[in-house]
Amino acid sequence: MTTYYHPDEHQACQAREQSLFSRLPTFIANAQRHSPYYQTLLTDVNADSINSRAALAQLPITRKSDLITLQKRQLPLAGMNTSNGQISRIFQSPGPIYDPERCQDDWWRMGQAFHAAGFVAGDLVQNCLSYHLTPGGFILDSGARACGCIVIPAGPGQTEQQLDIIEDLKPQGYCGTPSFLNILINKAKAQNRDISSLKKALVTGEALPKALRDEFTQAGINVLQAYASADVGLIGYESVADDGLIISENLIVEIVRPGSLEPVADGEIGEVVVTSFNADYPLIRFATGDLSAIKPGGSACGRSNMRIKGWLGRADQTTKVKGMFVHPEQIERVRLTTTYCPKVRLTVTQQDHQDKMHLQCEFDNTHNADIDTQLLVNQLSDSLKQLTKLNGSVELVALGGLPDDGKVIDDQRVIA
């Protein structure tokens, strides 16, 4: 028999819809009164009239890709947080984008995802998302603790030390990116280390190809996914492998045609747009930049909320590499660190389930034939790491060597 973290997870769909939209007018009115950003954006909106999906679809969209510019105008949070709310931490995600957190139990609503993935009170969980500046580590930490788990705040990297911890403390669970779990498994095999205590995992930050999930299953680890963002927290989660992502309770999710306000038909691919009932940091029609589609039918687990098919790409050129967003603006800033590269292009691929970045730079030495090209490559490589917090290879190509298609980031990963 399925047990539920939240009592509303199996309620009738119509009851959930009525509950969400009965609360929406009050939530919007509070944002209009207490958030400078929404005071301006929704100045002519009658909050009482926003009580249906059709009415909500008439409101303007705030795009994640615009936060960099919006926050520069009004640091740190573009005035989106409320004066009657509370903020305990501010993080910096790549972009840079600043994200808030209130130190309140399960503020990110991640407990649902851990519960659905089989985590129970008393489980020891090795959390391998970063706690440094970005909120990922804290998001998973809070969700695991909401289920009564004990968390090892391991962060990423330091694989030898991570394996020592697993052998010593024998955690039952892992949370973090799927690629790092794969690194730990492969390293343990190569060194004949015992990580057999790991039986369950909740992964996020990257797509999970079926082939990699199958490898985890063969290693005796049941792996399910959570879809979360640094702005919203939990958006969707798996309860059954490859059966779609169930939308988190207390969210309104729309699938919208990219570049417009208009929701697409069920089953059609569009951009994930979220309205989050967060009184501290209200997000009303927040466009994540992720593409997905509504999955028809109900979940085999009995949870009744809307399901989406998972990550199907990006609506813009922003992409996620090793769990970190990389924005076109960052790559342009890399280009501007030198006067010799009129055009650049970042290609993202995957090799052995590991994300790889390769920056190609058109090289113009017309006015200085004696430039040290290796020094230039090193400079660009350092800038790429500094601005994205990720390593990548760099290659100089001849003028005209890059396609003239407007792409700054070319994500060539194929998720099967």
pLDDT at 405: 65
Number of domains in the chain: 2
Q: What is the pLDDT along the chain (416 residues), one digit of tens a residue?
A: 468 998 899 999 999 999 999 999 999 999 999 999 999 999 999 999 999 999 999 999 999 989 999 999 999 999 999 999 999 999 999 889 999 999 999 999 999 999 999 999 999 999 999 999 999 999 999 999 999 999 999 999 999 999 999 999 999 999 999 999 999 999 999 999 999 999 999 999 988 989 999 999 999 999 999 999 999 999 999 999 989 999 999 999 999 987 778 898 888 888 999 999 999 999 999 999 898 999 998 899 999 999 999 888 777 778 889 888 898 778 988 988 988 888 899 999 988 888 999 999 998 877 666 788 999 999 999 999 999 999 999 999 988 888 876 678 888 886 54
Asked if residue 234 and residue 126 are part of one domain, the reply reads yes
DSSP states along 1-66? ----SSGGGGS-HHHHHHHHHHHHHHHHHHHHHH-HHHHHHTTT--GGG--SHHHHTTSPPEEGGG
- From residue 379, give the alpha-carbon distance in Å to each of 357, 374, 387, 389, 408: 16, 9, 12, 15, 19
pLDDT at 112: 97
Domain region containing 22: 7-314
Residues 6+ apart with CB under 8 A from 308: 236, 244, 245, 247, 253, 255, 272, 292, 293, 294, 295
Residue 319 in domain? no
Residue 314 DSSP one-character state: B
Asked if residue 349 and residue 294 are part of one domain, the reply reads no
DSSP states along 252-311? EEEEE-TTSSPBPPTTS-EEEEEEE--SSS-EEEEEEEEEE-EEPS--TTS--S-EE---
Asked if residue 180 and residue 152 are part of one domain, the reply reads yes
Partner residues linked to 411 by β-bridges: 348
Asked if residue 283 and residue 399 are part of one domain, the reply reads no
User: How far is residue 130's CA from residue 153's CA, in Å, rounded to a whole number?
Assistant: 9
CATH of the domain at 381: 3.30.300.30
Last residue of a domain, one of 314, 340, 372: 314
Last residue of a domain, one of 284, 314, 344: 314
Asked if residue 105 and residue 37 are part of one domain, the reply reads yes
Parallel, antiparallel, or unpaired: how do β-strands 344-351 and 409-411 relate?
Answer: parallel
Last residue of a domain, one of 314, 340, 357: 314
DSSP states along 347-381? EEEEETTEEEEEEEEEE--TT-TT--HHHHHHHHH
Residue 244 in domain? yes
pLDDT at 368: 65
Asked if residue 171 and residue 88 are part of one domain, the reply reads yes
Asked if residue 399 and residue 257 are part of one domain, the reply reads no
Asked if residue 286 and residue 203 are part of one domain, the reply reads yes
User: How far is residue 267's CA from residue 381's CA, in Å, rounded to a whole number?
Assistant: 41
The distance from CA 161 to its chain's CA centroid, rounded to whole angstroms, is 26
Asked if residue 353 and residue 280 are part of one domain, the reply reads no
Asked if residue 291 and residue 222 are part of one domain, the reply reads yes
Partner residues linked to 347 by β-bridges: 358, 410
Asked if residue 51 and residue 29 are part of one domain, the reply reads yes
CATH of the domain at 147: 3.40.50.12780
Asked if residue 260 and residue 219 are part of one domain, the reply reads yes
Residues 6+ apart with CB under 8 A from 209: 353, 415, 416
Residue 416 in domain? no
